[in-house]
Structure 1
C-alpha cells in the first residue's frame, strides 16, 4: 500500500513538473474592463493582472499578456464561429483567457474552465431618482435629515435668546410685581412658533434687542418656508415621481425607461434562453428596441444620463455605484454565476490553476484583491447630486444670518442692562457691579427671595 501511494505521489509530481515546463511563456489574452484590466501607460494593471501574477508565482510559469483583438468576451456568431477571447483560445492564438469571463455551459463545451475565482450574479443599475420608493414621510423629503436637525437647533436657540432678552433687557422686564413678564420661556417659544407658521403671536417685543431678534427670525422663517415649498413643488411635479423600480419584474412591467445589456454577452444569453416569463419579456423588449450596448462603460454612461437601466454582472455594477453616487444597484440578484479562467480543451493547466485558485481563496488573497480594487468612494462632482433634499450647506448663509442676529440681539440687551445699572449706580451712589449683580439676581434668582426683599422695603417705608 505504501509503495502504491509513493508511486501516485511521484506520478503527480512528474505531471506537475511537465505542466510547468509546458507552461513557459504562455500567451494569455484578456480584455480591458475596469478594474479587472486597465491601461496605465504602456503597462496593464488591475484585479486580473494581480491574480495572474499570483498564479504565475505559485505555479512557476512565465507569460505574455495581450488584449483581445475584437474587444469581446466570447460569443458564437451567426455562422457558428466563436469570437472574442473564447475564439482566440479555440484557434490556438492564446493558451489562457484571464478576465471576468463567466462560466457557462455553452463555453464549457468548447473550452475548459477553472473553478471560479469570483462569484457574482445579474443585477441592474439605474438613476437613484428612478429607484426611489414612495415614502410615508414625503412631506419631510424637501429637507434632508441634517437640515431638519439644523432647523430644530435654530428654533431652540432663537426661543432661548428671546427668553434671555426678555429677562435681561430693562425694557422687557416688568418692574412691579403686578405686571406680568411677557417673555417667559414658554411664551418665547410660542411667539417664534407663530412666526414660523406666518400667523404671529402677541404681545410683541418692545425692546430694540427683542425686535431685532424677532425681525431676523421672521426673515429666516419666510426664506426657509420659500425654500421648502419650492423644493416640495419640484418633487411633487417630477416626471419620475410615480416610477419605483426595485426588481426585474418592476423593470419588465414599465415602458417609461429603456433598459439593455452588453450585446452578445453571457447576460444577454441568460435572458434569451430563460424560461421565466419575466426574463423572456425583458429579452423581447431588448430585441424589439435594440437597446443593447457595446460595452459596460457605455451602459454606465447611458444610465448616468438618465432614463436607462443597465443590466450586468452585479460585482461590476457595484464598482460603478461606488464611483458614481447618483447610481444605485438593484437589491435583487438573479442567475448566480462565477468568473473563471478559460483554457483549450484537455489542457493540463486547468487542474493546477483550479488548485491554486482554491489556495488563494482559502488564504484570503482573493478577498484582499477584491478589497484593493473595489475600494473607492463617490466622486466629488457626483456627491452633491446624491439627493434632491436640501442640505444645511445649501442654506448656510441663512443660518449664519440668524446666528448673527441672535448674537447682536443678546449684545444689545446686555448693553441696555449695563446702561441701566450704571445710571442706578450713579443715582444711588453704589458700585456698578453691585447694582448689576442685584439686577441679575432679581431677574434670574428665586421669586421668593425677590418678593421677600420687596416686602421688607415696603415695611421700612
Structure 2
C-alpha cells in the first residue's frame, strides 16, 4: 500500500468504516432514520452503479484502457473509492457527449448535469459548483470544497505601477508639478509688478521671461543671475527653492525604493479590470464560468458584453496546455485554481528539463484576486437515496482535511511562480531609462524648433526694417542699440579681469604694493586712480571674482 492509502485507511478504520450508525455524525439520527440508512446500505451492497464524470484535470478525468474500458482518475475517484470500499459496490464510468458541466443553448443532454438529470447515471463523481441553475436539475451532496477560479496571464516585463523616471509619483502628482512650474513664474512677475507700483524704492519688477527661467532653473537645481533686494521677492524665491528641495528629496527616495524594493503589480487584478481595460480572456466552453457570465442574476454578467464583441470566448480543448498559446498571445485564462497551478507547474518542470535559465522559467503569473468562488460537491438525480447514505462520509472527509490534501498533494509546498520573484539583483533596463532618452529627444527637437523660429523671425524683421527705413537709419539704430547695451550692464556679474589687473586697470599695481592679513586672510593693499585704498583678496579663487564697491 502507498503512504496515502495507509493514511486514508487509518482514518477510515478509526471513524466511519464501521456500521453507519456507529459514526459520530449519525449519532443524533432518530432510530427510524438509522434503519433507513441501514436499509439503503444493504440494498447498495454488491450493486453495480453507473458513475458520470468529465475531464477536469486534476480533480477528475477519464483514462481509456487497452480493452476500451473507461476508468476514472483524479481526486473525485479517490473519494469514490473510499465510498466503494465502505459500502461494497462496483461501478462503470460514463462520460457525456461533450465535456460540458451543463449544456449550452438548451442542449443539456450533452452535459454531465444532463446525464444526472435524465438518470442515465446514478451519481456524478466530479467537483460541480453549487449554483442555482444546476440545483433545478440535480441534488447536490454535502460540500466537498470551495472552488476558486483564478486568472492566469503572461508575466509582463514591467510592473503596472510604472517604470522609469515617472514611477515614483502618480500621474496626478506630475500634473500638479507641471501646473506649479507653469504658474509660479507669472506669479513672481505679477507680485513684483504690484510691489514696484505700490512701493517706490527703485527696485524694478521681474519680467516674465526671467521669472520663467528662474523657476525652470531652480527645478533643475541650477543657479540664477537674479539678485532681488526686496524682502518680498526674496521670500518668493526662497519659497520656490524650499518646494524644489522637498520635491527632489521625495522623488529621489521614491525612485530608489521603486528600483530596489517595489512590489511587482499586474495590470489585471480583478474581473472588473478585464472589462475596464478591454483585455481578451478565454475560459472552458460549457463550464460554470460561461453560465455565470451569461446569467443576468450573477454579479459577473457585465462580462457578457465582452463575449458579444469578441473580446472573450469559450473554447473546448483536449488538454489544458492547449490554452497556453492563447495566454502567450496576450489573453487571460480563467480556470479553476488547482488546474492553473498544475498547468504552471508542468510548464515550469518542462522548462527545467530543457535547461532553460532560471529567470525565464516563470513565463506565466496568476492574478492576486479570484475571478469567482463557488462551493462544490458531487451530484445525484433528484430524490436519490444514495445522497442520504454518502453525505455523512463526505462530510467527514471534508472536516478531516483529506479532500484538501488530495487536491494539492501533487503540487510543491512553495508557491509556483509567485507574482514577486524576489530577485536579489535589480539591474536597470532600457525601459527604466526610456524617459531619459525621451527627454533628450524632446529637448533637442525643441532647441532646433526655437532656433528655426528665431532665424525666421530675424529674417522677416530685417526685411521689414529695410522696407520701412533706409540702410543709413538702420545703421544708426544698430549703433545706438549697441551703445545702450554697453552702458546698461548687469552689475551682478563679476568685472572683467582686465579691469582689475590689466593695462587699463583702475587700480595702481606696482612694485611698492604690499599685502596685509585681516582675520586670517591675505589681501593686496592697492590704490585706485581716484586716490582711494582698496583690499583685494589673494590666494583664493574668489580673488578673480572681486568687485569693487559701488
Please say which of residues 58-67 and 6-15 is displaced more in the overlay: 6-15
SS at 2:94's partner residue? strand
1:396-442 per-position Cα deviation (integer Å, ceiling 9, x unaligned): xxxxxxxxxxxxxxxxxxxxxxxxxxxxxxxxxxxxxxxxxxxxxxx
The answer to whether the Cα contact below 8 Å between 2:338 and 2:407 also exists between their aligned partners in 1 is: no
> What TM-score, normalized to structure 2?
0.45
> Which of 371, 381, 403 is residue 344 of structure 1 equivalent to?
381
3-state SS of 1:124 partner: strand
Matched, 1:69 2:97: yes
User: Take 1:299 and 1:138, find their aligned partners in 2: how far apart are those partners?
Assistant: 39
Say if 1:259 and 1:286, in contact at 8 Å, map to a contact too: no
The question of 1:37 aligning with 2:60 is answered: yes
Give SS of 1:16's match: helix
Residues 34-93 of structure 1, C-alpha deviations (whole Å, 9 max, x = no match):
212345662542211211111222344332223333222223533x64431111112221
Per the TM alignment, residue 96 of structure 1 is displaced from its structure 2 partner at its CA by 0.6
Q: How does 1:49-128 map to 2 (within 5 A)?
A: 49-78=77-106, 81-128=108-155
Residue number in structure 2 paired with 1:252: 275
Q: Per the alignment, do residues 99 and 131 of structure 1 end up closer, same or farther by CA in structure 2, a change over 3 Å counting?
A: farther
User: Which residue does the alignment assign to 2:284?
Assistant: 262
- Deviations along 1:160-196, one digit per CA (max 9) or x if unpaired, are xxxxxxxxxxxxxxxxxxxxxxxxxxxxxxxxxxxxx
8 A contact 2:75–2:403 mirrored in 1:
no
Aligned residue runs from structure 1 range 3-402, under 5 A: 9-23=30-44, 24-38=47-61, 42=65, 43-78=71-106, 81-129=108-156, 132-134=159-161, 244-255=267-278, 257-274=279-296, 279-289=300-310, 291-295=313-317, 297=320, 300-324=323-347, 325-375=362-412
Deviation at 1:250, TM superposition (A): 1.8
Following TM superposition, by how much is the alpha carbon of 1:21 offset from its aligned partner in structure 2, in angstroms?
Answer: 3.6
Distance 1:6 1:109, change over 3 A: closer
Aligned to 2:538: none
Count of residues in correspondence between the two structures: 280
**TM-score (normalised: structure 1):** 0.52
Shift of 1:133: 2.8
Contact 2:54–2:60, Cα closer than 8 Å, also in 1 = yes
Task: Give me the CA root mean square deviation.
Answer: 3.8
Tell me how far 1:390 sits from its aligned partner.
11
Contact 2:154/2:327 (8 A) holds in 1: yes
Structure ranking higher in helix proportion: 1
1:297, distance to aligned residue in structure 2 (A): 1.8
Q: What is the alpha-carbon distance in structure 1 between the residues aligned to residue 159 and residue 114 of structure 2?
A: 42
Change (3 A) 1:39 1:90: closer
Distance 2:298 2:328 in 1: 30
What are the ranges of 5 or more consecutive residues in structure 1 without an aligned counterpart? 141-240, 393-461
Cα distance, 1:27 vs. partner?
0.5
Q: Deviations over 1:82-122 (max 9, x none)?
A: 43111111222110111121111111111101122121233
Which runs of at least 4 in structure 1 moved beyond 6 Å after TM superposition?
5-8, 136-140, 376-379, 389-392
- Alpha-carbon spacing, 1:332–1:8, altered in 2? closer, same or farther (3 Å): closer
Larger radius of gyration: 2
8 A contact 1:260–1:286 mirrored in 2: no
CA–CA distance in structure 1, aligned partners of residues 27 and 298 of structure 2: 52
- Secondary structure of the corresponding residue to residue 11 of structure 1: helix
SS in 1 for 2:156: helix
